[in-house]
Structure 1
Amino acid sequence: MAQVLAEVRLAGSPLQSYRHVCAFFRSPDEFYTVLLPFIKEGFDRRERALHIVDPKLRAEHIRRLEGIGIDTAAAEASQQLELRVWEEAYLRGGHFVPDAMLTLLEERLSAGQTEGFPLTRLVATVEWALQDRPGVDDLVEYEARVNYLAASHADALVCCYDLTQFGAGLVMDVLRTHPMAIIGGTLHENPFFVPPDLLLQELRGREPAGLN
């Protein structure tokens, strides 16, 4: 794995070598209460922020960032902030293709290094997977495969889930794809994590099913 350059704090605790995190929230206020200090720490250190959000909530996300003193226009102009909506990331072309998204994520993390940023902090919301779009049933496979990418980067990758929208079955599967989890506003090492080789083998043996 790439060298860890500095301690990263998330949900009040240091984030160690496992930096692929699932974060579960029940409201926008909980989401921002937990994540804004993590986001602000990165900006203060001149690290890069890659945020992927619901297009309907883009303006609200900008408002929340500006509320903690981040000049979002200047940050985007300097490339410190890259703010994408779902259709510019997960749902390009109107559907979800894990290979395409993994390629994009690798490109954007590598670009952060090329552009001179010591670290990239990804914050991505995942409710796009509840839409009736081709490929969304491959979410769990994608999350498992992100672990291969995370192993070669020191960047912090936070995948955010609204517990009021996702069913219990999918939440358990998502837990199994992340070595770290934020639950109740607290960061935990995840005892349900399954290494990606094992989980992908299990997924290949399952009958096709929707997200539930």
Structure 2
Amino acid sequence: MPVAGRGAAHPGPESQEGRHSSVVYSDDQQWAEHLGVFVRDGLEKGEQIHYFADTTAPERVLRALADAGIDGAGATARGQLSVSVAARTYLAGSTFDPDAMIGLWFDTVEAARASGYRGARVVGEMSWAARDIAGADRLLEYELRIHEEVFAHLPLTAWCFYDRRLMSPAYADVLAGAHLTHRGEPYGVPALRVAPLTDRPGLLMSGSAGYDTREAVAAAAAVLSGAAPRMELDLAALRHLDAASLATLAYAAAGRQGGAPLKVRQAPSPLRRLLQLFPELDSVVEVVDR
């Protein structure tokens, strides 16, 4: 993955949880209020700020800042603030590529620090994910990966903006639930919530995993099969795991590359039965009950 060998930068005093937030809103006033809080805080902390718009015209961002008494034009002139569009960032290639985006964050922070800023601060409008865009189905995987692969290494703060007017409620809920910190309107609890663990590499899955949640299970499997040497899957709050989801997670564990076995906390009975039927999985799955 592109983070290899690029961990020299260290995060600031704010926790990883607080530096990666979902922001859900449903009207322009809420959008403007969150924007103002985010930019004002970044200016005060001496960070370089980037706003990646999707449906919002860049000049509208500057107008909203001016209405809030924030000199966005001045910050832009001196290079502390930039407003661009998703087509130049998230969607710069022919498809949305989580690996490329993770590399971009390292480059962004390196450039900010080289320019004398303490770190970088980014808003990303995520409404593009609701359209028929190649790779958009990997957004949940990306949101889950960057907790460990980005925020554990970089002085970066990122707020992901989800506009309820442009996304289905169910999809917005799943994506918001992948963040450890949430701002704005409350989001509904999805049928299956997948989120990063707070204190160690891994994922928490809670709720029910079945046919309707297969995309969320696939995203979790993509994270679990990655290159992290240690990975834990906490299933203590999982009420149901169907056979297809179980197979997907088992294949992910078996496909891990050269790392330690996948630790599974509070494995449900279907997984325990699978391990009894296929003892060869003992080398790739370690059940932890405490």
TM over 0.5: yes
Q: CA deviation at 1:30?
A: 0.5
Q: CA deviation at 1:55?
A: 5.3
1:198 aligned partner: 203
RMSD: 2.7
Quote the Cα distance in structure 2 between the aligned partners of 1:144 and 1:90: 16
Change (3 A) 1:70 1:32: same
Identify the range of structure 1 (109-118 vs 64-73) with the bigger mean alpha-carbon deviation.
Answer: 64-73
2:12 aligned partner: 4
2:173 aligned partner: 172
Change (3 A) 1:142 1:37: same
TM-score normalised by length of structure 2: 0.58
TM-score normalised by length of structure 1: 0.77
Q: Secondary structure at the match of 1:22?
A: strand
Structure 1: runs of 5 or more not aligned: 6-14, 186-190, 207-212
Q: CA deviation at 1:149?
A: 0.2
1:146 aligned partner: 146
* Structure ranking higher on relative contact order (CA contacts 8 Å, 6+ apart): 1
1:85 aligned partner: 85
Is residue 46–residue 117 contact of structure 2 (8 Å, CA) maintained in 1? yes
Cα deviation 1:89-119 (Å, max 9, x = unaligned): 0111343111112211221122111211013
Cα deviation 1:111-153 (Å, max 9, x = unaligned): 1112110132211110011221111111101111111201112
Letter in 1 for 2:181: M
Q: Secondary structure at the match of 2:179?
A: coil
Quote the Cα distance in structure 2 between the aligned partners of 1:179 and 1:99: 21
Deviant stretches of 4+, over 4 Å: none
Change (3 A) 1:22 1:133: same
Q: Secondary structure at the match of 2:154?
A: coil
Quote the Cα distance in structure 1 between the aligned partners of 2:71 and 2:42: 14
Quote the Cα distance in structure 2 between the aligned partners of 1:183 and 1:71: 24
Q: Secondary structure at the match of 1:93?
A: coil
Quote the Cα distance in structure 1 between the aligned partners of 2:115 and 2:67: 27
Letter in 2 for 1:4: G
Change (3 A) 1:88 1:201: closer
1:129 aligned partner: 129
2:156 aligned partner: 155
Q: CA deviation at 1:82?
A: 2.3
Is residue 21–residue 157 contact of structure 1 (8 Å, CA) maintained in 2? yes
Change (3 A) 1:133 1:112: same
Q: Is 1:119 matched with 2:119?
A: yes
1:103 aligned partner: 103
Is residue 175–residue 193 contact of structure 1 (8 Å, CA) maintained in 2? no
Letter in 1 for 2:117: F
Q: CA deviation at 1:88?
A: 0.5
1:26 aligned partner: 26
Quote the Cα distance in structure 1 between the aligned partners of 2:219 and 2:163: 27
1:60 aligned partner: 60
Q: CA deviation at 1:56?
A: 4.6
Structure 2: runs of 5 or more not aligned: 1-8, 187-192, 205-217, 223-247, 250-290
Quote the Cα distance in structure 2 between the aligned partners of 1:202 and 1:192: 7
Quote the Cα distance in structure 2 between the aligned partners of 1:173 and 1:184: 14
Q: CA deviation at 1:20?
A: 0.9
